[in-house]
A and B are shown apart, each in its own frame.
Chain A
Amino acid sequence: MISETELNKIIERINAGDQQALDHLFPLVYQELRQSAHIIRIRFRNQDTLNTTALVHEAYLKLSKADLSKLENKAHFLNLASKAIRQILVNACQSKGTQKRSGEKVQIDDLEEQLRLSEESKSIILQIQDALNILEQKQPNYTKIVECRFFAGLSIEETASVVGSSPSTVKRQWSMAKTWLHQQITAVPV
């Protein structure tokens, strides 16, 4: 756990423009998202979509009121959150034997434990993950866009604020990233 003074220092550095410092906040955001499955159930039960977007925004609401209250730029949070969501989904696809036996205690908080995706979805997400690992090394910006748009379901504008470019650039880059990802995951294995 990060202490409060430590947290404040990190946020000060982020607010001052230190992008490196952002990484220190990742565990906090990741943990919050992981454990906030119940929150989206409460707030969004009456909505048609119960999705990761809702989760991200809900987590932001909560964190910005407490831990991240001094964070000046929401984009920093969205950046971390979209990465965290990617991590959560990938973990959910990789974890084995999470199926609860009858009568066992129901974990209601842990999102990774709760997500029960179809085998097909798991396979696609893991393929996307593999492809993104390649893309990340060459074009980290494109990867960030995929994290924002696909994993976190953020809007073009929000994504633009995270990557620091114009919405139309984000649109074009998102389109190119999608196209490349599609080619990668539909490619016949050699």
Chain B
Amino acid sequence: MSDIAIVDIIKPENLVYEKTKLMTDKTLSYCPGCGHGTAHRLMMEVVGELGQENDTVGVAPVGCSVLAYEFMNVDMQEAAHGRAPAVATAIKRLWPGKMVFTYQGDGDLAAIGTAETIHACNRGEQIVIVFINNGIYGMTGGQMAPTTLPQMKTSTSPYGRDIQTMGNPLKITELVAQLPGTYYVTRQSVQSPAAARKAKRAIKKAFQNQLDGKPGLSFVEIVSNCNSGWKMEPVQSNEWMEENMFPYYQLGDIKVDGKLL
């Protein structure tokens, strides 16, 4: 092998993977080790594979992924905090032939935007919501989120989340699954190649549902890490996520083809 130069190996016939065409060349603003980049890539791969590059409108949230529109190479709108489902509702209603998605974090979707989330789901808007749950407010510096686990330390729960005074972590995904307006509800993760492949299948199913005009909203939660906010090394944060987040936020499909599992 040592006799073969790299240039001899990099040939079209040896190509097994390439940069996602629908990701821009802009350097990701996410912390090294964060799951956002992988989630972005999977979504843009799906949009490309479904041939929807010119017929997709995305809505970015407020939070770490506020700049998602810098990285996703499709038409994008940046919504006010929590309002992405309302923004997406109007885009889809006025352009029913287009594929419309929102990309939101836990603070955006499950705290300030709870009403917009619940009602877009309840109306059965034919959009895709991708929900990144890392149990913390990343962008503002690690404050408690609606999804922060009991006893979990954050900058606004420095002694750990006391559920007596700070409430319980909100399983909003199970909540929206109860609404007749949701057609597909699933919880995934992207911390390993195997998990990312599964998550991609779920994202593809969600977008395919919209493309096929299935009645209702497709909702994909991705349980993710926040190594900076959790104050951990990236690998350690993924281990912590598997040990602590996954038991509370159990992975897998919750509702498929409009039926609760």
To the question of whether A and B form a pair in one complex, the answer is no
B-side residues, CB < 8 A to A, are none
